[in-house]
Amino acid sequence: MTDNQDIRMLIDGELVPAVDGDWLESVNPANERVIARVPAGGEKDIERAVAAAEAAFVPWSRTPVSERAAMLRTFASRLRAEGDRLAALETADTGNTIGISHFDVAYGADVIDYFAGLAHESKGETSQPAEPGSLNVSVRIPYGVVGKIFPFNHPLMFTAAKMAAPLVTGNTVVIKPCEQSPLSTVAMGEIMRGVFPPGVINVVTGAGGHAGEALVRHPNVRRLAFVGSVPTGLAIQRAAAEVCVKSVSLELGGKNPMIVFADADFDAAMAGAMRG
């Protein structure tokens, strides 16, 4: 990728600019150079993406689970094939070391393969209730449109790893990456375009206060998943509750203490602390 390139986002199987024609600059934190521009999506773009995801939901949920799993495996293979390019882009956009970025590509692809392997394990249950002549039956069904909002630090890994479960279980997805580091997610959108049917997965770039809030507040987004800070997670929970009852999961800032006892293997403990 050359510097100052304009990159489009994925909506309904097409790579498109923002409706309003606005752009955001993505800057390399190491040298403060503009790497590329991405669309500054907003409410209109989220509306387009959610509408596309809604239209794709019924045919996707009716696609045999083995076919959905096969598409996920194809996507994982293409991620590995594009690993060097994606890792370099991730490092330039986030400031992560190239080793970490390569790990994130491999880990994301492995998680996709893992959930593809679990495709046939999503099963309902039956049980005999106390009342004679009756039967309790539980059936697992997809939510519909799932919204995903990810932070700046590991966008490639979060996008790859956290899209797999909803897709293999028949949901469609709208992803809003962090405006500070959207490039690897947008690049993955280009790969997704060649694997999944139009509308099954969409990527909308833009500021959290515009595209992000529109995604959270959209009444037809039945489930939301967010990774990021506690204040933003609280704001998302409040905003979602004001619209309708929807499923929300929040993976917020983790501060994990580590206790090292006097008789511990110091080298092993330090290696574990550095690895996180």
Over residues 84-115, the pLDDT tens digits come to: 999 999 999 999 999 999 999 999 999 999 99
CB atoms within 10 A of CB 152: 16
Burial class (CB in 10 A: 0-12, 13-18, 19+), 251: middle
Above 80 in pLDDT, residue 256?
A: no
Comparing C-alpha atoms, which of 59, 49, 56 is closest to residue 11?
49
Q: Are 94 and 153 in contact (CB under 8 A)?
A: yes
Is the full-model pTM beyond 0.85?
yes
Over residues 116-162, the pLDDT tens digits come to: 998 887 777 888 777 787 888 888 889 999 999 999 999 999 999 88
CATH class of 9-120+138-253: alpha beta
Task: List the beta bridge partners of residue 14.
Answer: 11
DSSP annotation of 212: I
Q: 259: which 2 tokens?
A: 């206790």
Q: Where are the domains of the chain?
A: 9-120+138-253
Catalytic residue flag (residue 14): no
Q: Name the strand (E) or helix (H) holding 184.
A: helix 183-193
In one letter, which amino acid is 49? A
Check 14, 54, 82, 251 and give the catalytic one.
Answer: 251
